[in-house]
Amino acid sequence: MLSERVIAMSQDSKRLLAILTAQPVVPVVAVANAAEGVALARALVAGGIGSIEGTMRTPAALEAIRAIVAEVPEMVCGAGTILTPKQFEQAEAAGAEFIVSPGATVEILDAARSSDVPLLPGSATPSEMMAMLQEGYEVLKFFPAEQVGGAAFLKSIAPVIPQLKFCPTGGISMKNVQDYLGLPNVLCVGGSWLAPKDKVAAGDWDAITALAHEAAGLKDAH
């Protein structure tokens, strides 16, 4: 019989599936302030992208997440680069609808266990993937994707651990995205190329909408 913990995590996996399969690319972004985050979210939505990972890499991250949740309700806003339970709690309090961590620690898993917000934990090796599966996680972040074996690695994992589905992130762009989206165990990819730093800084939202539209179009190819 499955433990209550595993059953709960399976429900979280279902919620993550709904978020991650809604578009082929989840933008991974870092913003300087809340207004910039809101404008960026609106530009991405205009291009057909419906979820975003706001990373905790800038002082404005929590404020931006809070503003996006409040002002761009059509965007599903998650929090990324969560490294500690405190950050998990802060992101949850800010309204993040999913949490992304580059790896998984006992402390992060404990925080997720006591939260209603689903966690997308990172993994990079078969042992980490097996450990996450035993914890009840069926949907994982594969990070840093290109640096630890890329699409070829995930292709080799598919028949070995077929229960797992992935959102690869790290070193992915329009040049290699189809290598990942063509794999049976890839739901979507995480990518920062939809929000280039120079375009965001310049407020060139039309350019970002165009990039989002191009990425959203990958859905049909997938």
Q: What share of the chain is helix, strand, coil (3-state, %, to 5)?
A: 50, 15, 35
pLDDT of 13: 80
Per the annotation, the verdict on 86 as an active-site residue is no
Q: Give the domain extent around 51.
A: 4-215
pLDDT of 138: 93
Whether 126 is covered by a domain: the verdict is yes
Whether 63 is covered by a domain: the verdict is yes
Per the annotation, the verdict on 97 as an active-site residue is no
Whether 221 is covered by a domain: the verdict is no
Say how many C-beta atoms besides its own lie within 10 A of residue 73's C-beta.
10
CA distance 180 to 125: 17
Whether 222 is covered by a domain: the verdict is no
Nearest Cα to Cα of residue 37 among 86, 122, 96:
96
Whether 15 is covered by a domain: the verdict is yes
Half-sphere CA count of 92, side-chain side, radius 13 A: 16
Given the residues 53, 92, 138, 146, the one annotated as active site: 53
Whether 151 is covered by a domain: the verdict is yes
4 contact partners, CB below 8 Å, separation of at least 6: none
For 135, the enclosing helix (H) or strand (E) is: none
Whether 147 is covered by a domain: the verdict is yes
CATH code of 85's domain: 3.20.20.70
More confident residue, 140 or 4: 140
Given the residues 141, 146, 165, 199, the one annotated as active site: 141
pLDDT of 1: 38
pLDDT, one tens digit per residue, over 103-154 is 999 999 999 999 999 999 999 999 999 999 999 999 999 999 999 999 999 9
pTM flag (> 0.75): yes
How many structural domains are present in the chain?
1
CA distance 32 to 13: 31
pLDDT, one tens digit per residue, over 183-202 is 999 999 999 999 999 999 99
Query: 178 in helix, strand or coil?
Result: helix
